Amino acid sequence: MQFIFHYPETGGADGDVLDAGPLGAVAAAAEQAGFGGFSLSEHPAPGARWLGAGGHQTLDPFVSLGYAAALTERIRLITYLSVAPYRNPMLLAKAAATLDKLSGGRAVLGIGTGYLKGEFHAVGVDFDERNTLFDEALDVLPLHWKGEPFSYAGKHFSARDVQARPTPVQQPIPIWIGGNSALSRRRVARAAHGWIPMSGGAELSSTARTPELGGIAELSRKIAGIRESAASSGRAEHIDLVYSYSDPGLTGPGADPSLHREAFGELARAGVDWIVVSTRAGVHETLDPGVTFDFLAEFGAIYIDG
């Protein structure tokens, strides 16, 4: 099992998106601490009401991960998550392929259908078309990355005998799909390389328009079902399970590492391959670079090297 450090997100509109520390330095520190992945999310035009009620600021994930790539050597660079329907799938494929090419094959494309209606309107995408657009992206991404001529007729585009070069280093770039629904799980089994369930409880599930995940036993049952479905359709590759773990007592005074090691072990037995951790400030709270760098060093020493 490996760990991903998600760049800490500034809650609300008052702070600065980089309050947690210089992005490149944080990515490099995560790599030094032994993390296997570094991730960022995206919200290009969130509503002010959402931002003020617990939402968070974001950078553009592809630009930011490209910057982090130049300052790291090993760590995987992960969109967690990019909203696939926001982009023409050719542009999404090109952004991911560029990141993978420039990083030497370290990109992971985490994608979701999205859930903020106002943001869909702001970027000019019909919210009710999001599932159709998502499935188009799943079709187009591997075709684009192969670098061979192909044609594809989408809902809002018609590509005739196009050929995308250069190709990414990875063939294909791993695709991880977020969401708890049966539809999301079917998509993973059909065409993805990882599943990112949402583990934040009832309130977050309601906001993100996805069913609640359930407990560890249910998680294990669902990933087993995904893997069995993929195998029955002739897919031989392993499908990763990516799980977000949140607890303020992971490091620092009063931390009980044995408790968290036990939890990580339980998740590993359930089939989890990657655990995502982070620090975050709520609305009107302040992130601090010292807290970020201390967390990375302590977490690495306790849970990765320890």
202 confidence band (pLDDT: 50, 70, 90): very low
What is the residue-averaged pLDDT of the chain? Answer: 95
77: cis peptide before it, omega within 30°?
A: no
At 42, which helix (H) or strand (E)?
Answer: none
- Strands 150-153 and 240-244, by their bridges, are unpaired
Angstrom distance (rounded) from CA 28 to CA 69: 9
pLDDT for res 204: 45
pLDDT attached to residue 106 = 99
- Domain range list for the chain: 2-304
Of 7, 10, 8, the C-alpha closest to 283 is 10
pTM of the model: 0.95
Q: What is the predicted pLDDT for the residue at 142?
A: 98
- Sequence-distant (6+) residues with CB within 8 A of 101 are 166, 167, 168, 169
Residue 179 Cα distances to 32, 131, 137, 187, 270, angstroms:
30, 12, 16, 10, 18
CATH fit for domain 2-304, picks 3.60.70.12, 3.20.20.30, 3.40.50.720, 3.30.70.20 = 3.20.20.30
CB 59 within 8 A of CB 10: no
Express each pLDDT in 129-143 by its tens digit.
Answer: 999 999 999 999 999
215-232 core/surface letters (b: 16 or more CB in 10 A; e: else): ebeebbebbeebbebbee
| 58-106: pLDDT as tens digits | 999 999 999 999 999 999 999 999 999 999 999 999 999 999 999 999 9
CB 4 within 8 A of CB 80: yes
Query: Is residue 37 within 8 Å of residue 69, measured between CB atoms?
Result: no
* Type of residue at 87: R
Question: What percent of the chain is modeled with pLDDT above 70?
Answer: 96
Gap between the Cα atoms of 77 and 110, Å rounded: 10
SS3 151: strand
